[in-house]
Amino acid sequence: MVQRGGSRTRLTIVQLAAAILLAAGSAGVSSAGAQAPRPGVDVVPAGDGREGVRGVVKPLAEAQITSDLARRIQELPWRDGDRFRKGDLLIRFDCQELQAEANAARAVWRGKKLAHTNAAELHRRQAAGALAVAIAAADADKAEADAQALEARLDRCAIAAPFDGRIVERLAAPYETPTPSQPILRIVDDSALEIQIIVPSRWLKWIREGLDFTFRIDETGEPAKAKVRRIGASVDPVSQTVRIAGEFVTRSPDVLGGMSGTAVFEAAPHRPAE
């Protein structure tokens, strides 16, 4: 009887342990399932039974101004928010030493050209060989290339604005010597803005270029008329989304890059009534 009771006790313990392990495994699976990202993009109710998607305003042209010249900044007359025109001087570096090097290189080039001319004249009079003329010509070409390289570096001592726009951020100051490739200015063309949004890929059934939509901007609370300008070239297989770029048809001058809002498409199918 004792042995039989002991067998039942051992069997009960084994069954209890198996049940615990099974419950732990199920909990692990459920936890992993809860942490897995859900595919798709969040849509928000937009009224009239339609759905909207979130978007952000982006400038078509923006740039971060850097330089490979380790030179002291001589002029940097701009502050954050200042407006400039294409061709305006943004930055000027102190390049006196580089200018002197370029002057010296041009002088060497002139001397090498004279030596080549002289060698050619001597060769014409049969007082110098063809090899001497060729060497003099090669020396003159090298001196010209050296001078042109310094001229090219000298041209980078002044940086002009590539487009009309505004200063987003000034990251250096006059009299500082930025390291090569260190950002000095961030600029943006705020005259041309677009709306970047991500929509569910199933919307490709009815979204097309030129489709009208309304973009309500969070910061101003005002709606703006827009239309689809570009549709992304591929669908993200994980999130099942596609990128859409829209252009403003009408917008307030207060709209700035970085603002966000909700896009509601005129042709969007209505949500089924609950």
Digit-coded pLDDT (tens) for 118-175: 999 898 888 889 999 999 999 999 999 999 999 999 999 999 999 999 999 999 999 9
Helix (H) and strand (E) counts in the chain: 3, 12
Please report which confidence band the pLDDT of residue 51 belongs to, taking 50, 70 and 90 as the band edges. confident
What is the pLDDT, as a whole number, of residue 47? 58
At residue 18, does pLDDT exceed 90?
Answer: no
Q: Taking Cα atoms as reference points, which of 61, 82, 260 lies closest to residue 169?
A: 82
Average pLDDT estimate for 38-59: 72
Average pLDDT estimate for 36-53: 61
At residue 58, does pLDDT exceed 90?
Answer: yes
| Two tokens, residue 45 | 């109710």
More confident: 231 or 27: 231
Output the CA–CA distances (angstroms, integers) from residue 26 to 7, 14, 186, in the order listed. Answer: 29, 18, 53
Antiparallel, parallel or unpaired: β 165-170 and 185-200: antiparallel
Alpha-carbon span 261 to 240, nearest angstrom: 21
What is the pLDDT, as a whole number, of residue 35? 39
What is the pLDDT, as a whole number, of residue 13? 53
What is the pLDDT, as a whole number, of residue 253? 85
* Amino acid (1-letter code) at residue 166: R
Q: Which is it for the CA torsion 83, 88, 89, 90, positive or negative?
A: positive
Q: Whole-number mean pLDDT of the chain?
A: 84
Q: Taking Cα atoms as reference points, which of 64, 48, 256, 98 lies closest to residue 170?
A: 64
More confident: 262 or 44: 262
Average pLDDT estimate for 255-265: 92
Please report which confidence band the pLDDT of residue 250 belongs to, taking 50, 70 and 90 as the band edges. confident
What is the pLDDT, as a whole number, of residue 52? 86
Among 9-18, 132-141, 164-173, 222-231, name the one with the lowest average pLDDT.
9-18
| Two tokens, residue 92 | 């000027």
Q: Above pLDDT 90, what percent of the chain?
A: 69
At residue 17, does pLDDT exceed 90?
Answer: no
At residue 33, does pLDDT exceed 50?
Answer: no
